[in-house]
């Protein structure tokens, strides 16, 4: 358990916004362009948003200065919008140009954190992510007045980067990865930030804890695709028995590993901490984080308690479904629908499973720039395509569909690493306040 590392719930209400004053986003309301930008981003039209943001930046750069918080807020919006429109070069250059003009301090740490996040989600750039996250942590630790959520964010980025690298085994043995993720849960205060931090710490234990030198967990959907075998094929009686005994309280299914037990304890603590605060689910970013924790909980329980797993997954779907039209929510909705589709496929509900796979892929491919430019969600695309291909292969006259879907899945799996589904707040939009005092001053 991790409670000893974290602040009491009663103290966890410090806002990301500027201490009761007007937030930077609110201050930008006087720009007519900003309203247009918000509408464009809500529709996923990020390439159209970039020139509007650049015009705002030009005005702010001239009137407020290149290093003012409001100017840098727009810089972060430009970088994120450029990334989501596929312009990686612009996303990097706008951050680099601003960092060259900044002295060490909170704003520079924020830009470094955003660049580390971009490297993390781009796939194959973990070395760059580690360099930027390490520097961001160093800057944050040097300021006495640094907002706790900056510390939580940068520790989390570094911890996830450590966990995903090829040398993760050494990081696990040394305890560095776990230490950073523990620190992230300790310092994260805003509800979205804390939910993300606890999601990531639990995933570390589930995916990175080792028994006899072997990882304790991998996504079961990947095993199904590789084995060309549905979950319950050849074991329907045993699975039905496990579900029945778990439902009646007479026993359990497959035993849980030590890492999975620790992960479930962490996620249960996260959910219990905010169980009285259903109003938070009206916020899309909190709903994404909350649904994410429920989803990994359902995956961890799948073999041990399938009935409870199904219930938790249904709760995750309910939490995110209210935001199904929101561009940022679509990848998480696609992930949840994929898991539900695999469940239906394993229960021989083929027609329902096909509809769910189609819906999952709509959210992971067609409608979401967030999914297209993020290694986590491209991996989810691969799993949904592979599951759909497996389902089609079991039907007559669907051989061509099965072959096409399987090829698309394999191409993505070869191109992508298999990151665990880490979560972070919307770093580009974070708006926090610090006292800007260097330690020792």
Give the model's pLDDT for residue 415: 75
Its CATH class, for the domain covering 3-190, is mainly alpha
Q: pLDDT band at residue 252, thresholds of 50, 70 and 90?
A: low
Per the structure block, which two tokens stand in for 293? 């924790």
Per-residue model confidence as pLDDT tens digits over 78-111:
999 999 999 999 999 999 999 999 999 999 999 9
Reference 106, options 153, 157, 159; nearest CA is 153
Q: Where are the domains of the chain?
A: 3-190, 214-415
> CA of 41: how far to CAs of 36, 52, 83, 305, in Å?
9, 11, 12, 40
> Do 16 and 432 contact (CB within 8 A), yes or no?
yes
Q: If you average pLDDT over residues 13-26, what whole number do you get?
A: 54
Give the model's pLDDT for residue 102: 94
Q: What is the DSSP letter of 144?
A: T
The H or E element that residue 211 is part of is: strand 210-211
Residue 279 has pLDDT above 80, yes or no: yes
Give the model's pLDDT for residue 165: 77
Q: Is the dihedral of CA 378, 128, 292, 264 positive or negative?
A: positive
Answering whether pTM is above 0.85, one says yes
Which three-class secondary structure state does DSSP give residue 239? helix
Q: Residue-wise over 220-251: b if at least 16 C-beta within 10 A, else e?
A: bbbebbeeeebbbeeeeeebeebbeebeeeee
Give the model's pLDDT for residue 33: 85
CB-based burial of residue 398 (10 Å sphere; 0-12 exposed, 13-18 middle, 19+ buried)?
middle
CB-based burial of residue 211 (10 Å sphere; 0-12 exposed, 13-18 middle, 19+ buried)?
exposed
Give the model's pLDDT for residue 354: 96
Strands 214-215 and 210-211: antiparallel
| DSSP sequence for 46-85 | HHHHHHHHHHHHHHHHHHT-TTSHHHHHHHHHHHHHHHHT
d(C-alpha 164, C-alpha 249), whole Å: 37
d(C-alpha 350, C-alpha 342), whole Å: 10
Q: Residue holding tokens 């951050």?
A: 95
Whole-number mean pLDDT of the chain? 84
Least confident residue range of 30-34, 163-167, 318-322: 163-167
Give the model's pLDDT for residue 416: 66
Residue 420 has pLDDT above 90, yes or no: no
> Do 389 and 402 contact (CB within 8 A), yes or no?
yes
Residue 4 has pLDDT above 70, yes or no: no
């Amino acid at each position: 358990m991790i409670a000893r590392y974290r602040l009491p719930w009663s103290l966890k209400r410090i806002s990301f916004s500027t201490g009761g004053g007007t937030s930077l986003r609110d201050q930008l309301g006087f720009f007519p362009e900003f309203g247009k930008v918000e509408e464009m981003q809500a529709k996923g039209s990020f390439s159209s948003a970039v020139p509007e943001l650049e015009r705002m930046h030009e005005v702010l750069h001239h009137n407020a200065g290149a290093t003012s918080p409001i100017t840098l807020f727009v810089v972060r919006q430009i970088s994120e919008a450029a990334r989501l429109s596929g312009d990686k070069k612009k996303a990097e250059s706008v951050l680099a140009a601003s960092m060259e003009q900044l002295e060490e301090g909170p704003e520079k740490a924020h830009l470094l954190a955003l660049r580390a996040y971009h490297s993390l989600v781009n796939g194959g750039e973990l070395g760059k992510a580690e360099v930027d996250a390490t520097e961001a942590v160093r800057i944050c630790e040097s300021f006495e007045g640094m907002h706790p959520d900056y510390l939580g964010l940068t520790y989390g980025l570094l911890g996830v980067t450590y966990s995903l690298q090829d040398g993760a085994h050494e990081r696990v043995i040394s305890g560095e990865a776990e230490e950073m993720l523990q620190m992230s849960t300790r310092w994260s205060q805003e509800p979205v930030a804390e939910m993300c931090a606890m999601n990531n710490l639990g995933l570390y234990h589930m995916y990175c804890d080792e028994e006899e030198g072997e990882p304790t967990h991998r996504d079961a959907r990947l095993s199904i695709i590789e084995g060309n075998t549905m979950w319950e094929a050849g074991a329907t009686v045993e699975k039905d028995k496990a579900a029945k005994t778990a439902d009646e309280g007479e026993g359990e299914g497959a035993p849980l590993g030590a890492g999975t037990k620790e992960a479930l304890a962490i996620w249960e603590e996260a959910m219990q901490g905010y169980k009285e605060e259903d109003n938070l689910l009206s916020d899309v970013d909190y709903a994404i984080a909350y649904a994410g924790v429920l989803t990994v909980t359902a995956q961890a329980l799948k073999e041990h308690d399938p009935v409870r797993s199904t219930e938790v997954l249904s709760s995750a779907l309910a939490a995110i479904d209210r935001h199904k039209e929101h561009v940022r929510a679509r990848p998480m909705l696609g992930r949840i629908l994929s898991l539900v589709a695999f469940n239906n496929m394993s229960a021989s509900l083929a027609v329902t499973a096909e509809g769910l796979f189609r819906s999952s892929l709509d959210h992971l491919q067609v409608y979401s720039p967030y999914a297209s430019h993020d290694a986590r969600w491209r991996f989810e695309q691969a799993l949904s395509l592979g599951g759909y291909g497996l389902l089609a292969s079991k039907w007559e006259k669907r051989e061509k569909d099965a072959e096409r879907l399987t090829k698309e899945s394999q191409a993505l799996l070869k191109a992508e690493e298999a990151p665990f589904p880490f979560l972070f707040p919307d770093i580009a939009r974070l708006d926090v306040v610090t006292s800007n005092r260097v330690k020792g001053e």
